[in-house]
Chain A
Amino acid sequence: MRPMRLKLGDMFGWATILGIVALVASPVLVLAWSWRDPSGDVWAELWRTRLPGMISTTAILLIAVVGGTVVLGTSLAWLVSAFHFPGRRVVGWLLVTPLAIPGYIGGFVWLDTLSNVVGARGVRSLWLCALVLIVSLYPYVFLFARAAFADQGADTLAAARSLGLGSWGAFFQVSLPMARPAIAAGAALVAMETLTDIGTVRLFNVSTLSDGVMRVWFGTGDLGAATELASALTGAALLLIACERLLRRGGRQSRASAEKVMSPRTLTVFGNAVVLSVVVVVLTIAVVIPVARLINWSIESNRAGTALTVAGGIRHHAGNTLMLMAAATVTAIVIGTILALVVAHRGRLARLAGRVSTVGYAMPGPVVAVGAVVMLAAVDRRDVLPDSFLLVGSVIGLVYALVVRFIAVGYQGVEASLERVPQPAVESARVLGAGRMRTAFTIEVPAARFGILAATALLAVDITKELPITLLLRPFGVDTLSVWVWQATSESLWAQAAVPSLVMVFMGMFSVGLLLVALERGAELVS
């Protein structure tokens, strides 16, 4: 055995890791403490009644949504990467825009729209719920798969073709297996979003486990039992992450620098027509109809004068949303980057510790919200902060809770882009006399800057959409667009939710634009 030599720098690094992880995981861990006194009777009743159904419903929904997003996201990514057709570049951007539409907004638009087609009874089905989730979540897979296809050299594909594989054969036997780890990473995000979704599944009467958590909590007032269920759910989610890691380990081929990027093939007129109609259908379902419907509702409610009266109006809400989004996004990306930098080069144990920081993402939002309240209130009660300042209900408290919920997005994004920084460059910096800090901030961060920017944009998208934490922890008078949407939709006043929804969607589009720029510049840098 190598003698354990604990150096000052090492101790500092570990202290940073443990500090950050403790900070962001504690709200969840505080609640998990409820396991010390398990609610046996609640569990027994659940087993007898709803739990088996909830488990199977969750499993079916998960398989449907993950399967659907993988098929849709991967095939769209393949179309955009392997073929040349008019408007290819613009289509590549547009296909990411569904990210800007929160599931609960797309959900109520589609619920209302489809009711007119299949009736109120027909619309409340697991399959339509899955469909709505698929069209709102497929961009995660699309983004990852497209990046992976771009990474595959043209030579690999040419070699496959020369061995007698047609372009479909080459896709299934070469490109797809090589892109598998990236697709799995995208699918893992989709799985998380699906597992923790409450807004969309509620609309469609789909009783998933997350819905069950809220059912237990709100129905019996037993937060402890609800948390036990939620942490079981988190356990399942972590298992999923482990599976994803396993898949990712399979292949980590990267393009040798000299190899050419895959060159898209020109399509026939017929091919163009097919590709473009697929794209048009997807975009119509995912973006055009929801946005059109929202615009329609906005105009209607404006004309009818039934617009919900809210203090401060739309500019106040949009301003608050923007301010919170900026503060939480910057904080999350800074902490996520620091964590990823400290975890890198520290081996498996550090990685495992880093992974603990992502539990907030694997829990339903309302549970994280309450965990954060419990945490922050405990600090408040100790009077450590000056001048009777209270964290609960402060912007700091809210930003903290948002970071707890979403740091996974920042941390994993940065971690993935740090992994792509060539190791020899990092080691050269060390040997040239730069300590860990200087290496991190002058070499690793600049080299990974577009990946970090992309993670920032993804964070901004997520935080703009967030509801339960903002609802519970916002300071007095700081109402956001999502709170407004909630107030209207919880009374089924769909039309009155249209204006704030639209503003949210456009803010989301801006972040998606930023994401696309970051990804494009990053890709240029690599090639």
Chain B
Amino acid sequence: MTFAVEVQQVTCRLGERDVLHGVDLAVNAGELITLVGPSGCGKSTLLRVIAGLEEATSGKIVVGGVDVTAMPAEKRHVGLVFQSNALFGHLRVDKNIAFGLRHLPKQERRERVQEMLELVKLGNLSRRYPHQLSGGEQQRVALARALAPQPPVVLLDEPFGALDEVLREELGWEVKDILTKRNTAAILVTHDRHEAITLGDRVAVMQDGKVLQCDVPRVVYEQPITRFVADFLAVASYVPAETGEQKLVRPHQLEVIAGGPHTVMRVEFLGSTHRYTIRSHDGSTLVADLGPRNPLDAGDSCDVRVLKNS
């Protein structure tokens, strides 16, 4: 089968620094991959290399079955949405969306713009200028503009980064919906791990210019291939396993019982749960989430147990 995007062994050197070394990533048609990693790991650069805004030093990039490695950005036919400041301030919303549609006849172009406006629910704002829109509306326009030429893939570089949390979550789901509706593949770069896990069909974790793991959220969450991935995605505790190795447990996999060798250090109220931070007798730190009942306080002694099948 053909992938919407396929990145093969891509390296990229910017100035004196190797930003990407040997990245492999393939996105299926209609699939949303979220891309996370610490800042400076190369996730934005990867998007820019795919879009053609930076040149790959070596490797191969295929978009919609076409090898675009040597093509300039304008020929690659990918969509790109930035965090902010990407709209053309001197053009109206409809002209912004129509920017990538020059190849279409006039009538068709107009219809496509209208379709896009409705898709992002901005039908009544087509004649406004970008500075007359709210932050969320601006990002919708940016998405509509990127989708309008019907690229096989849209690259989203922290598209909700400049928005407040409520709006961010709402818009996140809406974008996923829109992408699914259009059957458009997407790579979404985010620094929000929660967003990465909830929105992504698959989650790719990057570190030092490499994709460490790329898999469905549950697998990445529960079976991270390295300790870095485990720690990066969510709070993790480690308990000795039967094999003698350290076994990863997430907070919801632990049960806390009053009395025992460990000490409760801190109790945080998280709304639906309480989070216990526990100092174990061997000095390691364990984190557990428990239901609304709160039987223990900081300073109490306790024991922990790993829940099965959770």
Contact = CB atoms under 8 A, between A and B. Distances in A.
Establish whether A and B are touching in the complex (CB under 8 Å): yes
A434 interface: yes
Contacts of B83: 424
B82 interface: yes
A449 B73 CA distance: 25
A446 interface: yes
A430 interface: yes
B52 A432 contact: no
A422 B77 contact: no
A5 B57 CA distance: 11
Interface in A399-448: 422-425, 427-435, 442-443, 446-447
B79 interface: yes
Prevailing SS type, chain B contact patch: loop
B80 A431 contact: yes
B97 to A, nearest CB: 10
A269 interface: no
B109 interface: no
B76 A424 contact: no
Given A428-B80, A433-B100, A434-B74, A446 B51 contact: no
A525 B130 CA distance: 11
B53 A446 contact: no
A257 interface: yes
A254 B99 CA distance: 28
B132 interface: no
Contact of A427 (B53, B84, B142): B53
Interface stretch (B87-95, B218-226, B263-271): B87-95
A91 B109 CA distance: 49
Contact of A431 (B13, B78, B84, B85): B78
- In the complex, which range does the number of interface residues on chain A fall in? 20 to 34
A431 B72 contact: no
Interface string A1-24: 010010101000000000000000
Contact of A525 (B89, B91, B99, B102): B89
A432 B98 CA distance: 10
A431 B51 contact: yes
A525 to B, nearest CB: 7
B145 interface: yes
Contacts of A5: 55, 70
B82 A424 contact: yes
Nearest to A439: B74
Nearest to A426: B86
B149 interface: yes
B69 to A, nearest CB: 11
Nearest to B53: A427
A460 to B, nearest CB: 24
Contact of A425 (B76, B85, B103): B85
Contacts of A9: 72
Contacts of B75: 433
Of the listed residues A9, A428, A430, the one surrounded by the most CB atoms of chain B closer than 10 A to its CB is A428
A145 to B, nearest CB: 25
A447 B53 contact: no
A434 B149 CA distance: 12
B89 A431 contact: no
10 contacts: A427-B73, A427-B86, A430-B72, A431-B52, A433-B149, A434-B74, A435-B72, A435-B74, A442-B99, A525-B89
Minimum-distance CB pairs A-B, first 6:
A432-B100, A424-B86, A422-B85, A424-B82, A430-B73, A431-B80
Interface of A: 2, 5, 7, 9, 257, 422-425, 427-435, 442-443, 446-447, 449, 525
